A and B are shown apart, each in its own frame.
Chain A
Amino acid sequence: MSIIEQLYYLLIFLLTLMPFVLIAQLLFRISIDNKKILKLSLPVALIMGPVFLSILLELIIRYFPKENNMFYLLYIPFIGISLVVFLLFYCYKKKLFLQGWQYKNIKSVKSKTSIKDDTLTILFIISMIFLFLATLFGFLIENDPLEYASTAKTIYQQKDLTHYPFVDTNFSDGYYGPWTHGLGYINLWVWSYLVAEFDGITNSARFISVYYLLALNFFIIKLSEVFLKTLNIGKLAAIFLCISPVIIGGVIGSHIDIIRIALLFNSLILFYIYLQKPSLKFLIFMSLSVGLALYTHSLNILLFPIIAILWLIHEKKISLSMLKDGFIFLFFSLLFVIPSYIINIKLFGLPIADSGAVPVWGLPNLHYDEWFFILRDLESQVSRLFYGVLKGFTRPDWFGLSYYFFIGAFYYYVSGILKKSGAESCLLTKYLLKVILIFFSFVFITYIFGYDIFIKNYRYQMTIQPFIAFFSAVMLYKYLLIKKNNA
């Protein structure tokens, strides 16, 4: 497959995602009537849209297995476009378009850009272009993405999901894939195979993680425009997000992480918007986002405790209406994953499982337990603390300087500067910090009680990287980059 062919298939692949992005955007439009928040509809839809395609593909393969490629290639876009038409019609009927569907630009305070800003922006754009080229010219090599790709290959060849997760290799052509994640990421691979008429190798799906990084950056920039009234903080936050080699390396290697992180960030920001102005419609939309996050990666189950704690902090009491809302939230967020959780419980005994899903790892004579820790330099309690809990500081080769910037930002936060910067940005910044602190309290509590779930895998700590980046950008931008008189 030549470079031109790769680009051609990538273009087709992205075009087929568009109806689903539109669906997400229209759902967002229906669920909200705040003109300002509506400016976020495109980035939110870009993050949520592709996963709708995954869900639809799973439904169609489950109900119509073993059809030929053309069947799926025709029906998926057809259903997608029909839904778009239906939603457009609904919006038209409800006269939603008249009520500010077209964005009027809210005047954002445009601080003058300095040479310093421009240098950063140019370097950032260069790195994004390089990232695209690196993905285009590279190829799939890391084990986990290859396993997702192989799972997708098996599904593509069988066009049948009866035996997913592939635990019994008699039904999967020898492939053993004992994980509990939904098909959010894998089905995008299957779809790229369908689009390119898979002949052993296809390249489009490798760009999914690049797409998600760009969408997440776009989201962060838009967020800063809407809530902080400047693009510059968003730009700096995007830079802070991309200075972690572990994020960039994961994106080049087509790892799943940036997708789950983008969906988690999206869900928590939507929850923030919900807390500002609760409404039933938006609660449902936010729950759907949480559902998509769960459908993509089991680790996003963290959203439940995080949201529960944030909710309690916000309400400061448990009321009946909160319980009712909580029930609605649980119902809609579990909608997509309940079937797979039931299958997982049958197969593994748990709805989600980490290493427990691989029986060989549990054999006492093989000593897999010590293997994880010695290979990752986490044998002693001290090294677990330094390289496990505090790896953000001790492993700059993974996280760059992001955690050091975070410490600087935290210092300024503690020194009380935030109060000067307007109520809205104050609220958002506090919210970001709350999420970070809740996550780290999980890490510390599990560490103190001797569990290793959060420290074993360095990728788990990437979860809150967008929060770290955004918080640092908000705190550091005004006091370190802009001259005093502008701030």
Chain B
Amino acid sequence: MLSFQKNKWHKRFKKIFYYLVIVNLLYIIAYIFISPFRHHNLMLSYDEKINQNEHADVKIATFINHHPELYSDKILISRQGSFSYYGKKGYLSIENPKMIKFYESETIDEAKSILKNLGITHFISPSYPIPPLYNSFLPKILSDLNFSKLEKRINGYSFFSLNNKSYDKKITRYMHSNKWVSSENLQTGKSFLHTNISDQNEIISYDNSKNSNSIWLTEGASRVSYLFEYTTDDQIRFSNHDKARLFAIDGEVLIDGQVGLNAIIFDAQGKITRTESIWKGLGKNRLVKIGGQFELGAKENFKLSFFIHPKSIMKLVKLNLSSINLHSNENPTVKTINHAYKHNSFTLKGSNSKLIFKVSQNIKIIPKIELKGLAGYGALDITFISDCSKINRVTNNYKNSSIYNFLQNNFIRLITLDTIQVYYYVSSFVDSSIPKDKLINPTYDKPLFLSNGERVGCDKYLQLTNSNERENSYIKFSDIHIDGKKI
């Protein structure tokens, strides 16, 4: 064996070995480098990083922190770490032994009443499959529009409210199980339905007419997996054109492996605008339950698709859709950040607490801001934000720049951050224990909103920040007027 070292092959191996170590080290450096730099601006403070990060679970937790008005009691959570650390609200982990009764319940009504008794009013489902989401009564509950409602979905994380009675219960039901097609013109592999289990007497049709490659590619799914799509007929697609709707899916599927269900959403022109991951499940040759919801905006339509993981097979057994119309004014107009809150009047408590108002009126020149019944102690910053991120960049010829642009002029400052413009407007010091009306009337003459702010479709916000360092300093006011009009 020792003679082996002396030959040429050995020398060559030495070199290869050395470069392998180098390559591996370079990989590690790249690996480290991309990890924190992907999601946020480096120079943000730690708190801002949390507020602005892209991780769906933290985003949901901060969303809930900012909207204390949306829930009343406990939230059932499936990823405890991020919620318990970043969230500020009561919660119950899906793995908590208190939930055992729920998992062992025999009827859906029993399951619902157990949730009620535990004080659970909301639920957050994760972007990955978890057993209660396909093995318990949870999917049934999530597909019941009378009992649950999707509030928000971020990257596959869904926030549901349970037993919300405030909306219209005119549920439309659809039975379209026979509309499934399997796509055969995928570039890789063939797709087939698992047909050899004969005791399931439903559905399966092999119609390939409406499938197209573009859906497959836009989906971004792995090329070695299979895609089935559910084509909705014209009646569902184009009825109630001008109203947003909430769809619920209720079904059963036989799977061996891992499967996900997505909704592919199109705009009126037939362009794919987004894909929502509704449900994910897995099993070893077992029947599991499907349940979930997705929201469809006005003038949008959809297709459903199954995402089947490599080496997995499935057979759809049952799938029903139901929908309700959503009221247009469901979105709250006031956001609260940190310890700001709205209760009769508006209160900013502690440093960096913020109130964000959505402004509907047009503001082009310097507006006068009047705060009614202003009291408290601390510095108050008033900022206008113009958010154009919703506008389609291609059609509006939007310049994709990330240059920081500081225009210092008295108190006005402009920051351009890709599609968001922030205007630091004016600072004012509040020191009064008796509520007084205060008119803030800036004395400079720069126009407030520049080109982007005027763009049609940009959202405008007015942000009030308590910038006092003291933890328990508060600023209160009862109302806010811009140019004499209440927002």
Contacts and interface: CB of A to CB of B under 8 A. Distances in A.
Contacts of B36: 134-135, 137-139, 252
Interface string B31-62: 11101110000110111011001010010000
A379 B91 CA distance: 33
A370 B17 contact: no
A243 B32 CA distance: 11
B283 A363 contact: no
Interface in A189-230: 199, 201, 203
A476 interface: yes
A178 B58 CA distance: 22
Given A375-B128, A400-B24, A169 B84 contact: no
A149 B85 contact: yes
A476 B131 CA distance: 47
B28 A248 contact: yes
Nearest to B4: A415
Nearest to A203: B46
A417 interface: yes
Residue among A245, A367, A414, A476 with the most chain B CB within 10 A?
A367
A479 B18 CA distance: 11
A415 B31 contact: no
Interface string A364-395: 01111011001100010000000000000000
Contact of B103 (A2, A130, A360): A360
Interface residues of B, number: 67
Contacts of A127: 25, 28-29, 32
B2 A415 contact: yes
B369 interface: no
Contacts of B26: 123
B35 A252 contact: yes
Interface string B86-107: 0000111111111110011000
A138 B284 contact: no
Contacts of B45: 1-3
B5 interface: yes
A365 B92 CA distance: 20
B80 A141 contact: no
Contact of A143 (B42, B82, B282): B82
Given A126-B29, A138-B36, A363 B103 contact: yes
Given A245-B28, A480-B18, A367 B286 contact: yes
- The binding surface of chain B is classed by DSSP as helix
A243 B100 CA distance: 43
Contacts of B282: 370-371, 374-375
Interface string A337-378: 000000000000000000000111101011110110011000
Contacts of A249: 31, 35
B20 interface: yes
A176 B93 CA distance: 7
A401 B20 contact: yes
B135 interface: yes
Contact of B53 (A120, A139, A415): A139
B27 interface: yes
Given A134-B33, A365-B135, A174 B17 contact: no
Contacts of A141: 53, 55, 58, 82
A137 B45 CA distance: 9
Residue from B43, B103, B135 whose CB has the most chain A CB atoms within 10 Å? B135
A201 B46 contact: yes
A312 B37 CA distance: 50
B80 A150 contact: yes
Nearest to A400: B24
Interface in B232-288: 257-258, 282-284, 286
A201 B31 CA distance: 26
A139 B46 contact: yes
Interface in B356-411: none
A481 B18 contact: yes
Interface in A1-51: 1-3, 6
B473 interface: no
Contact of B22 (A123, A139, A248, A252): A123
9 contacts: A134-B37, A141-B55, A176-B96, A243-B27, A374-B257, A375-B129, A401-B21, A404-B20, A479-B5
Interface of B: 1-2, 4-5, 13-14, 17-18, 20-22, 24-29, 31-33, 35-37, 42-43, 45-47, 49-50, 53, 55, 58, 74, 79-82, 84-85, 90-100, 103-104, 128-132, 135-136, 257-258, 282-284, 286, 471
